[in-house]
Amino acid sequence: MLDCLEHTPGGVCRAAVIWLHGLGASGYDFAPLVPHLGLSDVRFVFPHAPVAPVTINAGHRMPSWYDIRSLDHSVSDREDVADVKASAAEIRALLDRERSRGIAPDKVVLAGFSQGGAMALYTSLRARSRLAGAIVMSGYVVAESSLDAEVTEAGRAVPMWFGHGRNDDMVPMAGGHSAFERVLRLGVTAEWHDYPMAHEVNAAEVADLRRFLQSRLQ
Q: Is 168 a catalytic residue?
A: yes
- Which of 64, 87, 114, 124 is catalytic? The answer is 114
Catalytic site residue from 29, 67, 80, 168: 168
138 is catalytic: no
From 177, 178, 199, 208, active-site residue: 199
Tell me whether residue 87 is one of the annotated catalytic residues: no
Q: Which of 15, 23, 18 is nearest to 6 (CA)?
A: 18
CB 19 within 8 Å of CB 124: no
Query: Which residues are annotated as catalytic?
Result: 114, 168, 199
